[in-house]
């Protein structure tokens, strides 16, 4: 069962994927996305560079919120593949190297 997106989740998703037009459902499957970052990475971003540019739109507070969700297991970052490196780079740049390390340790990147 997907988690219920909060107003903040929806605002962040719309900032990362404005072309979704506020639609939080997958056209193919017809169900709500269970996460924010995975559909942005897999369905909307055209490349890792595009994914990084989308992440850079977020305020430090919004980015930290997503990292917090990831560390709680409520946001899937492990399936981001090469985009995970971009996420970690943006976290290090916008938040701190300590926060980036927490994320690396969570997903098992040393």
How is the chain split into domains, by residue range? 7-107
Collapsing DSSP to helix, strand or coil, 5 comes out as coil
3-state secondary structure of 15: helix
pTM: 0.89
Model pLDDT for residues 24-61, shown as the tens digit of each residue: 766 555 567 789 999 999 999 999 999 999 999 999 99
CB 104 within 8 A of CB 96: no
pLDDT at 109 over 90: no
Q: What token pair was written down for 55? A: 């992440």
Which alpha helices (H) appear in the chain, and where do they start and end? Answer: 7-16, 37-39, 48-55, 60-71, 83-94, 97-107
Q: Which residue has the higher pLDDT, 20 or 58?
A: 58
């Amino acid at each position: 069962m997907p988690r219920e997106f909060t107003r903040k989740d929806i605002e962040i998703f719309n900032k990362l994927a404005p072309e979704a037009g506020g639609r939080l459902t997958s056209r193919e499957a017809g169900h709500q996305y269970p996460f924010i970052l995975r559909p942005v990475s897999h369905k909307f971003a055209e490349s890792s560079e595009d994914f990084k540019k989308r992440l850079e739109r977020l305020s430090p507070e919004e980015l930290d919120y997503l990292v917090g969700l990831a560390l709680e297991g409520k946001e899937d970052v492990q399936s981001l593949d090469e985009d995970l490196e971009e996420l970690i780079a943006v976290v290090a740049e916008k938040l701190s190297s300590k926060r980036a390390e927490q994320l690396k340790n969570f997903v098992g990147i040393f």
